[in-house]
Copies of this chain bind each other. A is one copy, B any other.
Amino acid sequence: MTTTQYIDANRDRFLDELFTLLRIPSVSTTTEHDDDTHQCAVHVQEYLVRAGLDKAALYPTDGHPIVYAEKIIDEKLPTILVYGHYDVQPADPLDEWNSDPFEPVIKKTDLHPDGAIFGRGTTDDKGQMFLHVKAVEAMIQTDNLPCNVKFMIEGEEEIGSAHLEPFIRKHKEMLKSDVILVSDTSLLSKKVPSITVGLRGLAYMDVSVQTARADMHSGLFGGAVANPINTLAKMIASLKDDDNKITIPGFYDDVHFPSDRDRKMMRNAPFDEQEYMDSPGVYGLEGREGFHTYERTGILPTLDCNGIWGGFMGEGSKTIIPAKASAKISMRLVSTQDWHKIADQFTEHFKSLAPEYAKVTVTAHHGGNPYVTPTDTVEYRAAAAAMKDSFGVEPVPMYEGGSIPIIAKFKEILEVETILMGFGFDTDGLHSPNEHFGLWNFYKGIETVPGFYKHYVAMKQA
């Protein structure tokens, strides 16, 4: 029996099993769901055992457990480490769901004419994580597994993966592998496959500017003192030039753009600006001169105010010059930018923008480094070949605007590159009401994964 035959013969069971996982409200952020989240980990463990993996175990942490399992067929063969997560975002606002978020139902949509499973966690990440379990099961059960495989499925991805870093530091030897394979990102479309090769990093800063001990009467002091709001506005405004280039000295030192070939593929990939704008109702697009929208969110770093406050914010009027104004400013990072270095550069530069006598505070709130999958490697070429076999066309290297900080940590601690081979769509409602995952996407994933194993082992041994 071939792997494909096995998959075909077990399609309905695979779906039933996924439904079982989806019915468990493993919302990691809420303590009231702690038992559910644990129960979900136990189910993942059981499915890994049933798939044919060994040493399946729950590794307790100070938070939710990490599920680990492995199948070592030959120490000399390459090892693939699959990473995913069994926890989900909270389902609220509940009244915006058209069906129970934890009772999956299949409904057809324009993008999913074959039907999509609606429910919290369908695409992020239970459905995408589970397709790896099923693909590996198919390979093991048909004796077609061409290399070693390890699974590391955590339960805290939606709340920052706080306990995963110490886990991988502690279990470096157990997690030893040649490549990490993750399905927790998106596919451009059914006809245009893609592999995510870039995730942005983040440096999130709290700032404040104070120019007096107490609020001042705007009549008595207006015109003769620095207003901290006007001052902060001027400082923020100066952080970008007229071309929307960030002006912090050294900020772009570690920004390296992808190859011309990759950029050309990106530019030629289908991108519907109107659709992109429609989801949050954006009134207009704007960004650094000389780059198109997709490049602005993918290969360029950003600087954005996430919040600002100061002075009188109530109804009506109060004629004060406030003593202090504050803001939250975050930067998305790319390429080899290091968030600690960027935080330092920001801090030094931002402080230099204020009048000497002003009290400026800058605090780095949290951050993470960007991650870029090199595309000139066996790992990437194997993934691209698997996608091409499955979709008929070569995948586009995609740079995502968001961040998954743990991926950079994998590289730093485990010293292994990650292949981000997602099978959902951006429009599948991740983190939103009515999240769904196409049946076509689920099965396409199960079918594509064995191709990666095959090409990867062949290329490594070539």
Alpha-carbon distance between A267 and B102 when the two chains are bound, in angstroms: 76
Is there contact, CB below 8 Å, between A280 and B213?
Answer: yes
Is there contact, CB below 8 Å, between B297 and A229?
Answer: no
Q: Mark A217-249, 1 if CB is under 8 A from B, else 0.
A: 111111111110110111011111000000000
Alpha-carbon distance between A310 and B328 when the two chains are bound, in angstroms: 10
Is there contact, CB below 8 Å, between A213 and B281?
Answer: yes
Alpha-carbon distance between A322 and B282 when the two chains are bound, in angstroms: 11
Could you say which of A59-67, A176-184, A399-407, A410-418 contacts chain B? A399-407
> Which of the residues B215, B222, B312 comes within 8 Å of A302, measured between beta carbons?
B222
Residues of B within 8 A of A330 (CB): 218, 317, 319
Question: A238, A297, A303, A325: which has the most chain B beta carbons within 10 Å?
Answer: A297
Specify how many copies of this chain sit in the oligomer: 2
Question: A200, A233, A297, A323: which has the most chain B beta carbons within 10 Å?
Answer: A233
Q: How large is the interface on A (under 10, 10 to 19, 20 to 34, 35 or more residues)?
A: 35 or more
Is there contact, CB below 8 Å, between A214 and B401?
Answer: no
Residues of B within 8 A of A145 (CB): none
Is there contact, CB below 8 Å, between B283 and A359?
Answer: yes
Could you say which of A285-293, A342-350, A434-442, A454-462 contacts chain B? A285-293
Is there contact, CB below 8 Å, between A223 and B287?
Answer: yes
Is there contact, CB below 8 Å, between B332 and A218?
Answer: yes
A305 at interface by CB-CB < 8 Å:
yes
**Chain B, residue nearest A234 (CB):** B237
Is there contact, CB below 8 Å, between B306 and A218?
Answer: yes
Which chain A residues numbered 392 to 447 have a C-beta less than 8 Å away from chain B? 400-403, 426
Residues of B within 8 A of A236 (CB): 229-230, 233-234, 237
Which chain A residues numbered 291 to 333 have a C-beta less than 8 Å away from chain B? 293, 296-297, 300-314, 316-323, 325, 327-328, 330, 332
Is there contact, CB below 8 Å, between B282 and A221?
Answer: yes
Excluding A307-B318, A308-B308, 20 further A-B contacts by CB distance (< 8 Å) are A200-B219, A204-B317, A210-B283, A211-B283, A213-B280, A217-B280, A217-B402, A219-B332, A219-B400, A220-B297, A222-B302, A224-B297, A225-B284, A225-B287, A230-B239, A230-B304, A233-B233, A237-B238, A309-B309, A318-B328
**What are 12 pairs between A and B in contact, CB < 8 Å?**
A212-B281, A212-B282, A214-B281, A218-B302, A219-B403, A221-B297, A226-B286, A234-B236, A305-B311, A307-B311, A308-B325, A311-B328
